[in-house]
Amino acid sequence: MRDPEKPQQIIEAAIRVFARNGYYSSRVSDIAREAGIASGTIYLYFKTKEEILVTLFREKMAAFVAYLRREIAQVPEPEPRLRRLVLLHSSRTRRWPRWCRSSCDRATSSSAAPPPTRCRRISS
């Protein structure tokens, strides 16, 4: 019988492992160890490491987008609204730089997009 809380436990462990090691250097066994479960257990819930990552992005980005929408809805004018959006996004990247870097590495390696460039700070 599958544990309905196990996928979330795996996702949370994957966040920590990917942030610490980067996506490509992380193994499913590392995620399992971090989650405190057997490696084979992960495959009951996810087919591949990439499926874990995709699920993680879907869940976490949906929550982040909902948060951003709530925050910018409070700002009536377009320019201050955009400024608020950029500041909220940049504060997230400052708070979790290793996770954001590994996310960018993964996203840009599988597409034709150029690597991310450094952004200059936008004053509030």
pLDDT (tens digit per residue) in 18-42: 989 989 999 999 999 999 999 999 9
Please check whether residue 98 lies inside any domain of the structure.
Answer: yes
Instruction: Calculate mean pLDDT across residues 2-28.
Output: 92
Distance CA(53)–CA(72), nearest Å, equals 27
Whether 47 is in a domain gets the answer: yes
Two tokens, residue 41: 């257990």
Retrieve residue 114's tokens: 């150029």
| Gap between the Cα atoms of 99 and 68, Å rounded | 19
Assess if residue 121 is contained within a domain: no
Predicted model pTM: 0.65
122 has a pLDDT exceeding 80: no
Distances (CA, A) of 18 to 2, 14, 102: 25, 6, 7
> What confidence score (pLDDT) does residue 18 get?
92
Which of the 8 DSSP states describes residue 122?
P
Q: What is the largest CA-CA distance in the chain?
A: 53
Asked, for residue 100, whether it belongs to a domain, the answer is yes
pLDDT over 90, % of the chain: 48
Q: Tell me which DSSP letter residue 114 carries.
A: P
**Which CATH number do you get for residue 23?**
1.10.357.10
Number of compact structural domains in the chain: 1
The answer to whether the beta carbons of residues 108 and 116 sit under 8 Å apart is yes
Residue-number span of the structural domain to which 26 is assigned? 6-109
118 is a domain residue: no
Asked whether residue 22 is assigned to any structural domain, the reply reads yes
**Is the residue at 74 inside a domain?**
yes
The reply to whether 122 falls in a domain is no
Confidence of residue 90 (pLDDT cuts 50, 70, 90): confident
